[in-house]
Amino acid sequence: MTEKRKGGRAEFSSKFGVIAAAAGSAVGLGNIWKFPYITGVYGGAAFLFVYLGFIAAIGLPVMLSELIIGRKSRRNAFGAFKKLAPKSMWRYVGMLGVGAAFMILAFYGVVAGWSVEYVVVSVLNGFKSQTPDQLSSMFSDFIAAPFRPVIYQLIFMFLTGLIVMIGIKDGIEKNVKIMMPLLVVIILVLDIRAITLPGAGEGLKFLFHPDFSKLTGEGILSALGHAFFSLSLGMGTLITYGSYIDNKNNLINTAINVTVADTLIAVLAGVAIFPAVFAFGIEASSGPGLVFITLPNVFQQMPGGYIFSILFFLLLTVAALTSSISILEVVVAYFNEELKMKRRVATVFATVIISLLGIICSLSMGIFDHYTFFDLNFFDLLDWVSANLLLPLGGLFISLFVGWRLGRKKVREEIQKGGSITEMFLSIFMFLVRIIAPIAIAIVFLKGIGLLNI
Ligand code: PFF
């Protein structure tokens, strides 16, 4: 391993590497699998607009906050709070993040495993001459099966573990620098195909013409939860990655680039999916099966569908991998620095525990589906609790920490590195993290869990 180290700690080696890694974390299943289906479920453009509002007013400031905490402390998510606020309770915010990482990667690895299976099915031309019903049962039978989805999940987790084990520069950075440009090319090719389909206009209208009467309280909570999930916020992923960014990088530019890239890719994924869905008269609100059931139907009817289906599921797999490594890194950095495990041991240990949890998630779609909590199976429970509870809560504490505990002077010191800022910008940022973000998150959160009725 030839890691660049300063004071014993690894660092990313280039600006592009930093952006590719952080954008790689942000762009993932959240953008390509989840964003289109929840946009479909919550009524299209109205949901998109609320989501964009949350991204700008809450997502961006919280992202900058995480990067500040990470680079200032140069520690893992837990150690960062311990170092910046010694002997205080703040460290438990980091602990919450490490816990969320376990939960998210457990179900994330399962969905990523599905996309690996669908690359294989696409290559074997397995969607050909299947009726919509057959494609639907192909998916539901597959995810409920006891072995195949588990094997694919384990293959995916193995790849994730391998990259993380090699390290920050030679493992994570090297791989994301190849995978992210590949992902952009694939999505652009898919977009061009989608918008040149006859009847594509309806799909674009669904995505960009808001009908606010369709918006519900639940939709608003999901928009916030999804903003956190999609930007990889609220659990210390960007604290961890921020801790590997050197002082020559400007954190504001990094945060803006990553936020814009993530949002753009989500919208581009919508543009690739909805025109095709509408052009072939398929239900836009079909839920989690949207990309696995609906799209194979579309690919089957579309000229060039064989190639486009391979490209699409490859895109999904690559996007998932650049995100899963960032989630695993949160846990590995914690094990490594706090529990003093060697990186190799920490990676194996974390990967094995998360994979086991993942197996339970996968089986909860089939043989364990009668075990439910609040009417949710284990998979849906982890998804719901992490995206709608833990990440917003984490984001709330992170913004309070930067706003009130770290304070203006230390924030200025950190964000001035690698560039200059105006006092006006600083004032706006401090106002957002001290007041706006915490209040907005608290309201949406309490309303979402039914404790607030407005
Ligand atoms: N942002 C990733 C996605 O949109 O798929 C998922 C994710 C990665 C969530 C890292 C949380 C995280 F810390």
pLDDT of residue 454: 62
Quick one: which of 26, 15, 8 has its CA closest to 320? 26
| Residue 220 CB less than 6 A away from ligand 1 | no
Q: Rounded mean pLDDT of 239-253?
A: 95
Q: Which atom of ligand 1 is nearest to the CA of 320?
A: 5
Atom of ligand 1 nearest to the CA of 324: 8
In a domain, 10, yes or no: no
CATH of the domain at 275: 1.20.1740
The total domain count for the chain is 1
Q: What is the mean pLDDT of residues 346-353?
A: 98
For ligand 1, atom 9, which residue shows the shortest CA distance?
Answer: 232
Is position 1 within any domain? no
User: How many residues make up the chain in this entry?
Assistant: 454
- Is residue 41 very low, low, confident or very high in pLDDT (cuts 50, 70, 90)? confident
On whether residue 58 sits in a domain, the answer given is yes
* CA angle, 140 then 143 then 149, to 5°: 155
Give 102-111 pLDDT, tens digit per residue. Answer: 999 999 999 9
CA 308 to chain centre: 24
* Ligand 1 geometric centre to CA of 403 (Å): 24
Does 251 fall in a domain?
yes
22 lines ligand 1 (CB under 6 A): no
The Å distance, Cα 143 to ligand 1 centre, comes to 22
Could you tell me which residues come within 8 angstroms of residue 442 by beta carbon, excluding any fewer than 6 positions away?
Answer: 396
Question: How close is the Cα of 125 to the center of ligand 1, in Å?
Answer: 30
- Answer whether residue 454 is part of any domain: no
| Ligand 1 lined by 394 (C-beta under 6 Å) | no
Res 280 pLDDT > 80: no
Lowest mean pLDDT among 41-55, 292-306, 357-371: 292-306
Q: How far is the CA of 115 from the centre of ligand 1 (A)?
A: 16
At residue 2, the pLDDT reads 42
User: 63 in ligand 1 pocket by Cβ < 6 Å?
Assistant: no
How far does the centroid of ligand 1 lie from the alpha carbon of residue 232, in Å? 4
1-16 pLDDT, tens digit per residue, is: 444 444 568 999 999 9
Residue 454 Cα to ligand 1 middle (Å): 30
More confident residue, 298 or 85: 85
C-beta 230 within 6 A of ligand 1: yes
Is the confidence at residue 330, as pLDDT, over 60?
yes
Q: What pLDDT, on the 0 to 100 scale, is given for residue 283?
A: 75
Q: What is the pLDDT of residues 434-453, one digit of tens each?
A: 999 999 999 888 877 777 77
- Where does residue 52 rank: exposed (0-12), middle (13-18), buried (19+ CB within 10 A)? middle
Mean pLDDT, residues 300-319 = 89
| pLDDT for res 298 | 80
* 175 Cβ below 6 A of ligand 1: no
Q: Is 111 in the pocket of ligand 1 (CB under 6 A)?
A: no
Q: Is 347 in the pocket of ligand 1 (CB under 6 A)?
A: no
In a domain, 223, yes or no: yes
At position 74, the amino acid (one-letter code) is R
Taking the centre of ligand 1 as the mean of its atom positions, its distance from the CA of residue 110, in whole angstroms, is: 14
Is 433 a residue whose pLDDT tops 60? yes
What's phi and psi for 77, nearest 5 deg? -55, -40
| Across 297-324, average pLDDT | 90
User: Mean pLDDT, to the nearest integer, of 333-359?
Assistant: 97
> Which pLDDT does position 6 carry in this prediction?
47
| Boundaries of domain holding 137 | 15-448
Per-residue pLDDT, averaged over 380-404, amounts to 93
pLDDT of residue 1: 40
Nearest protein CA to atom 13 of ligand 1, as residue: 232
Q: Is 362 in the pocket of ligand 1 (CB under 6 A)?
A: no
Q: For the whole model, what pTM was predicted?
A: 0.92
CA distance 441 to 57: 11
Does residue 102 line the site of ligand 1, with CB under 6 A?
A: no
- 235 Cβ below 6 A of ligand 1: yes
Q: How far does residue 302's CA lie from ligand 1's centre (Å)? A: 31
Could you tell me if the CB of 25 is within 6 A of ligand 1?
yes
Residue 276 is assigned to a structural domain of this protein: yes
Residue 5 lies in a domain: no
